[in-house]
Structure 1
């Protein structure tokens, strides 16, 4: 049962990460267009620059759970690498329960209010010619941390399984 839940949560984040990774390709195309316009034709559009910012934000926020799943997140690895699998699982469990989950909860509840109020007023870019839907970027904070909390739950369950597994 626990392994099925882990597979479900990690499968979701794996699919999201695969989709989000295509954002890097799209971002390269948009930045290339911006560079060509800027240096060849001496002009740029603010909406192109804002698309670059949105794409980076989406990749960073929505890809964080995928990064965490694959262990590519920032970790202070002074003692961790020398621990046994069970020792690593204990550290991961403590870190997940005491730090990751509460922090995700705080960010989700805080950013929800921030994004929702932006949506209610129809907030757009403050720049003339900018993108009209700034609240979409703000909601990506909520969604990104929801994916991260789900991956954190999978990590906690894996840690519990490793600690109590009799293999």
Structure 2
């Protein structure tokens, strides 16, 4: 069990680092939003186009990165949605069982299913070097790859959560 706890801590640390990196993506997202708004309104006042599809798509892609990679960090930090009214009344042992079963029966199979469906989708995007159809649009294959990375991180965090829950369950039996 000790090996699994070390594995869990390693996964937690990796997802924590990703979460910290996402703070910078959030800053980029805000800067892109400001540049787009200022460019649109200032450009209208000056009679020129100061915003572009590339900037708009970069803003959308920054949000996508935050959303897709942030799920594992959110799970690590216990920020996901749950029925806290019920959950708060349970003992630590019962909570551990709920977390273990939720991870093993729902989260992990869902992530595996999404990885299975996403793989061909991402592979086709890379084979075509897919680019946005909008004028001045950005490449789409890198952002589609984030699907695989995000679900892999979420899968790993689900494994980590199951390990931590199993450790609590095991302690309760001793």
TM-score by length of 1: 0.96
From 115, 128, 133, the counterpart of 2:122: 115
- Which residue of structure 2 lines up, in the alignment, with residue 149 of structure 1? 155
Structure 1: which 5+ runs fail to align?
Answer: none
1:160 equivalent to 2:157? Answer no
Structure 2: which 5+ runs fail to align?
Answer: none
Give matches, 1:78-157, under 5 Å.
Answer: 78-131=85-138, 133-157=139-163
Corresponding residue SS for 2:88: helix
Post-superposition shift, 1:77? 3.0
Give matches, 1:3-152, under 5 Å.
Answer: 3-42=5-44, 43=49, 44-131=51-138, 133-152=139-158
Q: Which contiguous aligned blocks of 4+ residues in structure 1 show a shift greater than 2 angstroms?
A: none
**Hey, what's the Cα distance between the residues in 2 that align with 1:22 and 1:88?**
34
How many residues are matched?
A: 166
Pick the structure with greater CA Rg. Answer: 2
**Hey, what's the Cα distance between the residues in 2 that align with 1:27 and 1:79?**
36
Post-superposition shift, 1:78? 4.1
RMSD of aligned residue pairs (Cα, Å) = 1.1
TM-score by length of 2: 0.92
